[in-house]
Amino acid sequence: MKLATLRTPGSTIAVRIEESTAIEIPGFTDVGELLANPLWRHLSETADGAARDIADSTDWAPVVPRPSKVVCVGLNYANHIREMGRDLPEYPTLFAKYPEALIGANDPIVLPGYAAENVDWEGELAVIVGKSTRRADLEEAEKSIAGYAVLNDVTMRDYQYRTGQWFQGKTFEATTPFGPYLVTADEFKTGSEIRTEVDGETVQKDRTDDLVFGPAQLVSYISHIFTLNPGDVIATGTPGGVGQARSPKRFLERGQILQTGISGLGLQTNRVS
């Protein structure tokens, strides 16, 4: 099952996607609000609200517009760790991102003039939590995952490396595409292809089973630090091919088109502006 948040005049709605049709899930303005209801799966499957044709174009909002937490994982693809000249980690490298950073699958990536240099792409698999989760073992963690989506952790490298803490380069407002939709965990397994393109050129290509720490491991580990709430997001890390690791280095420029896709999870297309 595919779930999404669509923009409407003055509001948003939660919908179930069936091929080229979006079916409104009555009573819910977005997927985050929907997941907060313990009956979200039944409500989604049986929803029979207004149907909308999305064949031509869709104004996707971020799948979960305002999660209580966006937890990001650094250095989690084996080939990316190698290209950055590091050893495989014993524990996940974690940092945070604020909801203000999130944009829809077709929204522009907004670069302020003071931070428009050294802007890098980082295509990622996002895990979306489906129920309150605290101190979960691996089995519990697996059951806590509502589904998966595409995310690009667009990074201001100059800000990232101003200090030893990455946070300030990772959460610039209106820079992180998230969507177009959530695919429920029963319909997606890691191992599918993840690909990032800049103006049609492939810059990242890998499989989502190259993760050092898989989705359930991450949910379990993070839940031992704090409670994960329904709708919370874990960005699981990026594969090799980032601009920072190239020789010479290469970064995004205004006017370029960044596309990020994962087989089975859809494609996002964002102009850098």
Q: Using the structure block, give the residue that is written with the tokens 């919908």.
A: 15
For the cut 70, the answer to whether the pLDDT of residue 252 exceeds it is yes
Q: What average pLDDT does the segment 187-195 reach?
A: 96
The kind and range of the H/E element at 266 are strand 266-271
Supply the pLDDT for residue 78: 83
* Contact present, 268 and 177 (Cβ < 8 Å): yes
Supply the pLDDT for residue 216: 98
Q: Using the structure block, give the residue that is written with the tokens 């995004």.
A: 252
- Give percent of the chain with pLDDT exceeding 70: 99
State the average pLDDT for the chain.
95
Question: What tokens were used for 132?
Answer: 């309150």
- Give percent of the chain with pLDDT exceeding 90: 89
pLDDT tens profile 195-222 = 999 999 999 999 998 999 999 999 999 9
Q: Which region among 22-36, 45-59, 145-159, 201-215 has the lowest average model confidence (pLDDT)?
A: 45-59
* Contact present, 267 and 194 (Cβ < 8 Å): no
DSSP 246: S
Sort 238 into a burial class: Cβ within 10 Å, 0-12 / 13-18 / 19+: buried
Supply the pLDDT for residue 75: 87
- Residue 100: pLDDT band (50, 70, 90) is very high
Supply the pLDDT for residue 80: 75
- Residue 57: pLDDT band (50, 70, 90) is low
